[in-house]
A and B are shown apart, each in its own frame.
Chain A
Amino acid sequence: AQSVTQLGSHVSVSEGALVLLRCNYSSSVPPYLFWYVQYPNQGLQLLLKYTSAATLVKGINGFEAEFKKSETSFHLTKPSAHMSDAAEYFCAVSWVQGAQKLVFGQGTRLTINP
């Protein structure tokens, strides 16, 4: 079965430090990959998505992610963390043609230390 693994359920960084959230997928066919962010008591907001046009994808709020097929990874990075980045982040994949099914990782809660 296709699956998504997010390494680290909790990540803590200092304000101004690099943010790195890890996502690995298993798929027998080329996937399409997404990162979503969830703030407390809110729904999911799309940060960025990979759809095979370019391996380095830039998203909102200064985030970017790089698709590495050889490593089956799609890690999310941000050069300098801001207090407002504190939230839960979800990596998701879809690969079923004709359907909107997303399979999510378990999420990574990002804490920013002042």
Chain B
Amino acid sequence: KAGVTQTPRYLIKTRGQQVTLSCSPISGHRSVSWYQQTPGQGLQFLFEYFSETQRNKGNFPGRFSGRQFSNSRSEMNVSTLELGDSALYLCASSPQAGGYTDTQYFGPGTRLTVL
């Protein structure tokens, strides 16, 4: 079974632009979560989607948004990019509806650099 895929793997943008990142979960997985990883703040939860609905959201500004499609693929969007948005963005999928013991399977991440 193919793992979680994220596209693109690397992205360079300038301040003020917007960006869209894509995540395809493992086949059959219905929950998709997004995390931001930076050297200073570590790994932080952004949001989680299940059945096209956002179920949980982390403490990030409204510039960060996401959505999930009927095939469980997910996108996240960051508008009006700031230098501090430079990070590795990780997507994770899990199979079940809401078990917080479920294992999350992570993709390789998208490395976003904001200049």
Contact = CB atoms under 8 A, between A and B. Distances in A.
Q: Which residue among B50, B56, B104 has the maximum number of chain A CB atoms within 10 Å of its CB?
A: B104
Given A43-B90, A43-B107, A43-B109, A98 B98 contact: yes
A102 B55 contact: no
A88 to B, nearest CB: 10
B43 A90 contact: yes
Report whether over half of chain A's contact residues are helix, strand or loop; otherwise say mixed. loop
| Among all A-B residue pairs, the 10 with the closest Cβ atoms | A43-B106, A104-B43, A44-B106, A98-B98, A99-B56, A51-B101, A94-B100, A43-B108, A32-B101, A100-B48
Interface residues of B, number: 27
B interface SS class: strand
Given A43-B108, A46-B103, A51-B101, A104 B42 contact: yes
B10 to A, nearest CB: 10
Nearest to B111: A41
Contacts of B105: 46
A82 interface: no
